[in-house]
Amino acid sequence: MQLSEARQMKHVFYSYEKAKTAIRQLGIKSRNQYAACYHLDARLPSAPHKFYGEEWQSWYDYLGNLHTKNYPAYDEAKNITNAAGISSKRQYLTCEALMALPRTPDKVYKYKGWTGWTNFLDKVTVCPYETYEEAKSAVRQLDVSKQSDYLEKYKADPRLRSTPHRIYSADWKDWYDYLGTDRNKFYNSYSEAKSAAVNLGITKYTEYVSRYREDPRLPRHPGTTYENVGWTKWGDFLRQNARFHSYEEAKQKVLELGVTSGAHYVKVYKCDPKLPGCPAAVYKGKWPGWANFLGKDTASAYASYSEAKVAAQNLNITTSIDYRRRYLEDPKLPSRP
């Protein structure tokens, strides 16, 4: 702000002392009230602590409130706060009934009894179990067998914590030991393990490797554990949560729908929510072409130019570039007509 502008502003707003008088007349007692009401007098600035510069003393002085030296003693302030039913710092800062108390009790009572908000608000601090073994015994009462269950139920015991592996780091072994779950007690059947993985919302191998410990009964290597009792591949193990059919499954579904061409497929694929709109992209690594996908590997080209022309027009193909990109949608269209 240039000097001339500053002088003009000085004529617009009250002097510091006159502003204090105007505030008394408006009955403003707090910073929140000031922020909400200062505009009722056009000569009061929105940020007086900035506007009055060196003249500024404090909000206590500006609002005409008692200075810190007149605040009640720590114990009295604590009793007043508790009597008002205040249970959080936010409530304390917004309660008008506590206007006689400091806005920053942690600073005002820093050397006069202050130890923290928990003590000031008379909150009871419940300490975690002293030893790892005590915590383990308490966990047995929750009847949980996996980490995800524990994280849902541990608050039922105020002395249990969400991060026991950090609190008891010196004695910590693993979640199996903490929950009392047999490390080798995996799901008896492949289908049970498969369902458990799906229930965790796991959709791919890398995610399984990073999250399988959330259920102590899931093995690290399910392919080895269930090698001769159901295991085929990761795609099948996590299949229940897969978005699309496998390529072979999709081929079978297409045959069941009686699809005869790529154009026909585009019209009917939504009949099965697990059929992709663009199978060539979804099955990129396995895609041999529409002919194979539609079960028409032996399809011959159209017998005449006019038939091929009509077929291309039915696909709404209008340029040679478009044709080269889409001719496979009809197994009977040649690559070089």
pLDDT tens digits for 280-327? 877 777 787 887 888 775 556 777 888 888 888 888 888 877 777 777
Residue 22: the pLDDT is 92
Q: Percent helix, strand and coil across the chain, each rounded to 5?
A: 55, 0, 45
pLDDT confidence of residue 7: 40
Instruction: Please work out, in degrees rounded to the nearest 5, the angle formed at the alpha carbon of residue 189 by the alpha carbons of 188 and 191.
Output: 145
Beta carbons of 81 and 120 less than 8 angstroms apart: yes
In this prediction, residue 230 carries a pLDDT of 83
CB 144 within 8 A of CB 179: yes
Dist. CA 242–CA 303, nearest whole Å: 41
Say if residues 107 and 79 touch (Cβ distance below 8 Å).
no
| pTM: predicted TM-score of the whole model, two decimal places | 0.29
- Residue ranges per domain, the chain? 3-63, 68-120, 132-179, 190-241, 247-293
DSSP structure string for 251-282: HHHHHHHT--SHHHHHHHGGGSTTS-S-HHHH
Residue ranges for the chain with pLDDT beneath 50: 1-8, 68, 241
pLDDT of 6: 44
